[in-house]
Amino acid sequence: MLEMGTGEVPIVPSATVVPVRDGPTGLEVLLLQRNVALKHMGGEWVFPGGRIDPEDYRVPGDHDQAALAAAMRETQEEAGVCIRPEQLHFLSHWTTPEGARRRYSTWFFLAVLPADQDITVDGGEISAHRWVRPEDAFAEIRDTTSPFRLMPPTFVSLVDLADFSDCVSAQHALRQRRPRRYAPRMIMLEGGVCFLYEDDAGYESVSESVSGPRHRTYMIDNQLEYIREVAE
């Protein structure tokens, strides 16, 4: 569950890679499990990534370039995978909503890996890895007896990839559109949260019930539902 905070929280620049490969029965996504001993998101399944460090800024003030550098560095550190800049496609950008205990401004990049790519987790911050088809991840989330859980940005990224049968079709489709940007606004509900995104009818008023286009995620009792009913 999202950690709630109070007062002014600094927004930390970070970068994430969404690694995909062609599996035996379709497109698969690499997820890493954070060590259960960690205070922040311990045990959660995430994509490789982390904060943008000062040394990632090879050009002062160039956040996009620094995000690429951080994405490659973090994937090497956490998964043992060396990625070249030309492998990365800017998929989306997420800003953690106001009210969270920790806030991040995160670049998400798609990277296609070979089917036989070796994965080596660091054994510290990251304790395990798995390749999973998006639809299998969704089924596991719906199983209330399963400890498998995802945060909304990870879940929405999987939804984004679920319709593609292979990496080539995913790459082609994603290159035809602009990167999506998410700056959620939160509405606290009984048992969870509704996250409104910018093109939702209720975004400006921060209202769940306003009629019109829907673009939101519900996280209720550890169950996630993503709704996108807006024009591209």
Contact call for residues 179 and 90 (beta carbons, < 8 A)? yes
- The tokens describing 131, both together, are 């390749």
Other Cβ atoms within 10 Å of 220 Cβ, number: 13
Residues near 145 by beta carbon (within 8 Å), at least 6 away in sequence = none
Which is higher by pLDDT, 62 or 231? 62
Which is higher by pLDDT, 222 or 12? 12
Domain positions in the chain are 11-183, 184-232
| In the predicted structure, residue 218 carries a pLDDT above the cut 90 | yes
pLDDT of residue 60: 92
Sign of CA dihedral 140, 144, 148, 150: positive
Rounded to two decimals, the pTM is 0.93
Q: What are phi and psi of 59, to 5 degrees?
A: -120, 115
Q: How confident is the model at residue 150 (pLDDT cuts 50, 70, 90)?
A: very high
Could you tell me which residues are beta bridge partners of residue 232?
Answer: none
Could you tell me which residues are beta bridge partners of residue 185?
Answer: 196
Taking only the tens place, the pLDDT of each residue in 56-108 is: 999 999 999 999 999 999 999 999 999 999 999 999 999 999 988 889 999 99
Indicate the fold that domain 11-183 takes in CATH: Nucleoside Triphosphate Pyrophosphohydrolase (3.90.79)
Number of H helices, E strands in the chain: 4, 12
Contact call for residues 36 and 42 (beta carbons, < 8 A)? yes
